[in-house]
Amino acid sequence: MPKTKGTGIVWLRELIEYKGAEAEQQMAQTLSPEDFKNYRIAMPINWISEESATNIYRAAGTILFADKPNVIEEVGRGMAKNNMTGIYSIFLKFVTIPFMLKQASRLWKTYHDTGKTSLEEAPGENRITFKVSEFPELPRDMRQVLRGYILGLSDLVKAQNTRVELDESDPQGWKWLITWQ
């Protein structure tokens, strides 16, 4: 069973706790007992099943981003901003989307125990493809989280008019086609 680190869950749990007891109760009511247990005990170093993490992301996103059209994408966007602020924020003024995606690709195995990542750059164009292969069971919502994460990285480097299109035609190689100005 594919797994991911609990980093995103910890961030979401902090936001839910900040919203108060009612939000926490909503999480308990929405999640299965196993998913709620994972939500409560997750730490950045813990491995959580991709399926359980996705369920937690969806439940928390529904509470935290209820006013947004794609709550699961907003979870990814928020994760990118949470992960890349603080000490990294000073560097964000000097980096590009391709640089950020190279770092994300390099760090994939730190946060996911399944799949391989690669990038296909289009020299001279503001276009790049982020690909995850050898992970056909990557949950659909997790693919949307990654789409949001890429959009969040784009926001951080102040790229304009970023589009992220998910090509789901080949489960042996999920592709996120990214363009920007």
Evaluate if residue 86 carries a pLDDT over 90: no
Give me the pLDDT at residue 94, please.
83
* Better-scored residue on pLDDT, 160 or 171: 160
With cut-offs at 50, 70 and 90, classify the pLDDT of residue 91.
confident
Phi, psi (degrees; rounded to nearest 5) at 86: 75, -130
What does CATH list as the number for 90-179? 3.30.70
Contact 177, 129 (CB under 8 A): yes
> How many CB atoms lie under 10 A from the CB of residue 32?
11
Side-chain half-sphere CA neighbours of 128 within 13 A: 19
Contact 163, 178 (CB under 8 A): yes
Distance (Å, rounded) from C-alpha 2 to C-alpha 48? 8
Distance (Å, rounded) from C-alpha 81 to C-alpha 86? 10
Contact 154, 134 (CB under 8 A): no
Domain with CATH 3.30.70 in the chain: 90-179
pLDDT, mean of residues 129-135: 96
With cut-offs at 50, 70 and 90, classify the pLDDT of residue 88.
low
Residues 113-125 pLDDT 10s:
999 999 999 988 9
pLDDT, mean of residues 31-40: 98
Element of type H or E holding 55: helix 50-64
Evaluate if residue 154 carries a pLDDT over 80: yes
